[in-house]
Amino acid sequence: MTFEQVTSIGKYSPTAYISGRCKAEKISGCRYWVMFADNKALEKDGTPDIIGFLVIDGAGHRFAYGTGPVIKGDIKVISSN
């Protein structure tokens, strides 16, 4: 797996994006994207941090994806802004 780009944006909900190439037995030209959204440690019923990912092949066919809240723990993203 390679990291080709790592970018962070946002002031109030900093978000990090990571993308690159990956190796998988049945995925020719494997590429991935991962997103981490830092929604801060808000009050108990606040918005949770979010993680999402996508894996595609060289032709753009989707092989795996998902997005969901972080149930335990806290993501910290330092924005480049």
pTM of the full structure: 0.82
Q: Residue 35's domain spans which residues?
A: 5-69
- DSSP letter at 34 equals E
Has residue 19 been placed in a domain?
yes
Amino acid at site 48 = P
- What confidence tens digit (pLDDT) does each residue in 36-70 have? 999 876 556 678 899 999 999 999 999 999 999 99
Has residue 40 been placed in a domain?
yes
Q: Is the pLDDT of residue 73 over 60?
A: yes
Nearest 5°: CA angle at 43, between 42 and 45? 105
- What confidence tens digit (pLDDT) does each residue in 7-29 have? 988 888 889 999 999 999 989 99
Task: Please state whether beta strands 15-21 and 5-9 pair in parallel, antiparallel, or not at all (unpaired).
Answer: antiparallel
Domain count, the chain: 1
Contact 11, 35 (CB under 8 A): no
